[in-house]
């Protein structure tokens, strides 16, 4: 299953973009992409942190946030975390993360 690039409802992730977006310099596809956590949708189940602990951690409010040392977002565990998120709060967005 390919990673989602937007929420199924078509909403723009920019409105709730986590300040900890991580940028990929390009992976096997050679295209830059970054993970986004929609913290307004996150309910803190911890599935992402349990599935992909090198990418996600729960903060003091039990909301998902991206680890500062997160690996490449095309990794299989990041894709699994996106697929398992019950609120669909995680997405892989093409392009570099905004500054």
pLDDT tens sequence across 43-81: 999 999 999 999 999 999 999 999 988 767 767 888 899
81 by DSSP, 3-state: which?
Answer: helix
Of 34 and 80, the structure prediction assigns the larger pLDDT to 80
Which residues, in sequence order, are bridge partners of residue 65?
57
Is the distance from CB of 81 to CB of 88 less than 8 angstroms?
no
- Residue 77, judged by CB atoms within 10 A of its CB (0-12, 13-18, 19+), counts as middle
Q: What average pLDDT score do residues 1-10 get?
A: 44
Q: Residue 46: its pLDDT value, please?
A: 97
Nearest to 63 by CA among 33, 89, 84, 81: 89
- Is the pLDDT score of 21 beyond 60? no
Q: Residue 26: its pLDDT value, please?
A: 44
pTM of the model: 0.66
């Amino acid at each position: 299953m390919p990673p989602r690039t937007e929420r199924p409802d078509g909403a723009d992730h920019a409105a709730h973009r986590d300040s900890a977006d991580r940028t990929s310099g390009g992976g096997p596809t050679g295209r830059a992409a970054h993970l986004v956590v929609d913290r307004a949708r996150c309910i803190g189940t911890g599935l992402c942190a349990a599935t992909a602990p090198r990418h996600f951690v729960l903060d003091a409010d039990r909301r998902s946030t991206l680890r500062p040392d997160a690996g490449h977002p095309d990794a299989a565990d990041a894709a699994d975390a996106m697929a398992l998120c019950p609120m669909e709060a995680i997405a892989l967005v093409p392009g570099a993360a905004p500054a």
